[in-house]
Homo-oligomer: A and B are copies of this chain.
């Protein structure tokens, strides 16, 4: 059992991002849907990488980003996810550790390499992701440390981690352990296509979820509707706390009969990579610090604005100032 408790324990893909700026035409040429994430195999990753402009590498992964930002905002955070014992795995481990996140998962030895996401940023600041999951597909129940889960107030699950099959089992086990210990379980739906791939499984999982994070496209995909209000009403019914983000229209937080609308914070759009992750970080760090829903949502909005205003998903400066206000 760790000596101290954690406010947040994240479970997610352990990924290194390769970010490059591309013109709009690049997406069409490579048949990508802007703003989404697609999974690609090793061969396709190699082919796409060869076609990409020079890039910049930094640690990524949706929930891992949330963990790094939440730690920067003062929360006590742990993360579980699978890297390989290679150079990119070392980079991932260094960065999340240096961000003050406890990261005990051992590296995969002798298997697939560390996951990477080839992220293309168009001139409008939108990011389109192509992820080769590599070592992440081996994340399993064996990587869960029950003592660690028992020591966390909120266990935060990444929807993307549903793609590798052994991780689904780990999700259910983590949720069971957390709730058995009286702790809360949060889930991010991650991406509308990820939701479509696993709709039934996500719907079934909701019974074990306390806090649901989703953007408009994701929640509408989950409930197979093109009407946001319909989707929001369904989310309100299915989970104790639903946190729905709407880009520049801010977020809507639903808890039973309560409903809080939070505005977006002003931002100059440079690169939207990690905006949703940063919002979740602000919201969860706010709750951990005892803030109410509106104040937690506003911390989420401001963290998202900080991330949008610079390249990359983990801002190097400015988080402490946000947390102090």
Contacts and interface: CB of A to CB of B under 8 A. Distances in A.
Contact of A54 (B50, B88, B99): B99
Interface residues of A, number: 30
Nearest to A56: B58
Contacts of A58: 54-57
Nearest to A113: B87
Interface in A41-70: 49-50, 52-59, 68
A99 B55 CA distance: 10
A24 interface: no
Q: Count the copies.
A: 2
Contacts of A86: 86-87
Contact of A53 (B87, B91, B312, B316): B316
Q: Is the interface of A mostly helix, strand, loop or mixed?
A: mixed
B54 A314 contact: yes
A54 B94 contact: yes
Which of A50, A59, A86, A91 has the most chain B CB within a 10 Å cutoff?
A: A91
Nearest to A51: B98
A316 B94 contact: no
Interface string A1-31: 0000000000000000010110000000000
Contact of A56 (B21, B56, B96, B113): B56
Which of A57, A68, A88, A95 has the most chain B CB within a 10 Å cutoff?
A: A57
A54 B87 contact: no
A59 B54 contact: yes
A317 interface: yes
Contact of A68 (B54, B57, B68, B311): B54
Nearest to A18: B91
Contact of A88 (B87, B99, B312): B87
B94 A49 contact: yes
A319 B123 CA distance: 16
Contacts of A56: 56-58, 312
A302 to B, nearest CB: 20
Contact of A316 (B54, B57, B59, B96): B54
Nearest to A316: B21
A102 to B, nearest CB: 15
Nearest to A97: B50
A316 B53 CA distance: 9
Given A21-B317, A87-B113, A317-B21, A94 B59 contact: no
Contacts of A113: 87
Interface string A90-120: 0100111011000000000000011000000
A56 B58 CA distance: 5
Which of A55, A87, A311 has the most chain B CB within a 10 Å cutoff?
A: A87
